[in-house]
Amino acid sequence: MLHTLSISALRQQLANKTVSAVEVATHFLARIEAQKDLNAFINIDSDATLAQARAADAAIANGSAGALAGIPLAHKDVFVTRDFVTTAGSKILAAYKSPFDATAVARLNAAGAVCVGKANMDEFAMGSSNENSFFGAVKNPWDTQTVPGGSSGGSAAAVAAGLALGATGTDTGGSIRQPASFTGITGIKPTYGLVSRFGMIAYASSLDQGGPMARSAQDCALLLNEMAGFDDKDSTSIERESENYTTQLNNRWSAQATESEPLKGLKIGVPVEFYGAGLDMEVKAATQAAIKQYEALGATIVEVRLPNTELSIPTYYVIAPAEASSNLSRFDGVRYGYRAADYTDLEDMYRKTRSQGFGWEVKRRILVGAYVLSHGYYDAYYLQAQRLRRMIAQDYQTALTQCDVIMGPVAPTPAWKLGDKSSDPVQMYLADIYTLSLNLAGLPGMSVPCGFSAGGLPIGLQIIGNYFSEAKLLQIAHAFQTHTDWHLQKPVCAQ
């Protein structure tokens, strides 16, 4: 079954010509159609997908194939694409087709990947449940009565359900890690600036970061190899020597490490603040058991402090809406996207277009952002939040002098029922307590499957590293996945 293979296994079959890219693409398009009730995709274009597959087959035949030739991927609908409509999950962009590809998409295209469609998402990446999409909520493949997480919920559901072998996601406050946790897949948020933001529709520019989502750390490493790299079209892109994120995967951590203890010498920091009030007991038990497994692999555990963790929520929900209110001002009905049908003058057109085109969560964050940036409140809110941001980042730097990586839960609970938190935005925001601080600090982090709730819902372990430590995070995650099988568990629809 093609949809049960890893990316590396399918690469081998394609290279050996056991199967063609067109056959692979046809298989996945059929699966997407059969499972359309999950609502994981916004836009499917079989002609565009099959054209990319034929190009991959031609490259394989003439020996010019890239590292991902023929591999079926889904792109979060926040990345602009020439061949597919890009909506950002919003009515205001419901028919927008970009004249160019986002850099992350272009890099994956150059490697020969085949896009099977654009994945559903919370509108403009604003949400924690994927219920804020203009195109309807995505359902979790493990239990279709529950959310898949957000805002990259469509990408996560597509991978978990076997509708794509990998997907692009974006993470502004946990939007790769949290849906990966809720759907039992692996996702990595790279260091800010490692993956180009060019062509990634902006929510909060100083926080947004693209990254890969797949079943395993090894598959994420293969995708990150192609996505990462300097881009002179992105002023926040980091110019540094490129890495191969697969080379360290099977390495032992230190000279003292052995076959039975491959991570001997690794120091894992466990923050006291991640295990306080509000943490579901099943999540606590699963993540602590995973950390015990790391001890069995040779790691040592140290207690660390991140004293400003609770301040990450108010800090984030000042800074992110402030940047969103500026970024979304371009959607005014003049240049592109939706325009109100009836209006009396330019101001009326602006008002009606934005009122009709944006959903309630987007409007809420624009209003909050405009408020905190307004005269008389800028110093009290926005500048104060920036000071707290620096304190949060410093907490991590202090903690990481005592350990190599930090581990803990991704979210306080497993996935909740659809609609359970829709009427209470604050409760939804609190679900991001363990993920927001990484974006404020610009650090890399991963979600790795580590268990299940009594109700059969996946639980993820968060692994946090210092700047540009993606190769180490992937190595540590791969070691765990070599000795456990949580990442191999699949919902019934993916078997």
Catalytic residue among 76, 118, 189, 472: 76
Which stretches of 310-427 are assigned E, i.e. beta strand? 405-409
Give the residue carrying structure tokens 């601080």. 437
Catalytic residue among 151, 312, 325, 469: 151
Q: Would you call 422 a catalytic residue per the annotation?
A: no
Helix 21-34 and helix 46-62, axial crossing angle in degrees, nearest 10: 160
Q: What is the C-alpha to C-alpha distance for residues 132 and 149, in angstroms, rounded to an integer?
A: 11
- Contact between 340 and 356 (Cβ < 8 Å): yes
- Contact between 263 and 251 (Cβ < 8 Å): no
CA distances from 370 to 132, 318, 350 (A): 21, 10, 16
CB atoms within 10 A of CB 364: 14
Q: What is the C-alpha to C-alpha distance for residues 159 and 74, in angstroms, rounded to an integer?
A: 8
Q: What share of the chain is helix, strand, coil (3-state, %, to 5)?
A: 40, 15, 45
The secondary structure element, H or E, covering residue 452 is strand 445-452
**For the chain, how many residues are written?**
495
Which stretches of 129-266 are assigned E, i.e. beta strand? 166-170, 186-189, 210-214
Catalytic residue among 20, 175, 447, 469: 175
Environment class of 270 (CB within 10 Å of its CB; exposed 0-12, middle 13-18, buried 19+): middle
Task: Show the 3-state SS of 466-487.
Answer: CCCCHHHHHHHHHHHHHHCCHH
- Contact between 172 and 320 (Cβ < 8 Å): yes
- Contact between 415 and 142 (Cβ < 8 Å): yes
Q: Would you call 76 a catalytic residue per the annotation?
A: yes
Tell me the β-bridge partners of 446. 188, 463
Give the residue carrying structure tokens 């969103």. 324
Q: Which residues belong to the active site?
A: 76, 151, 175
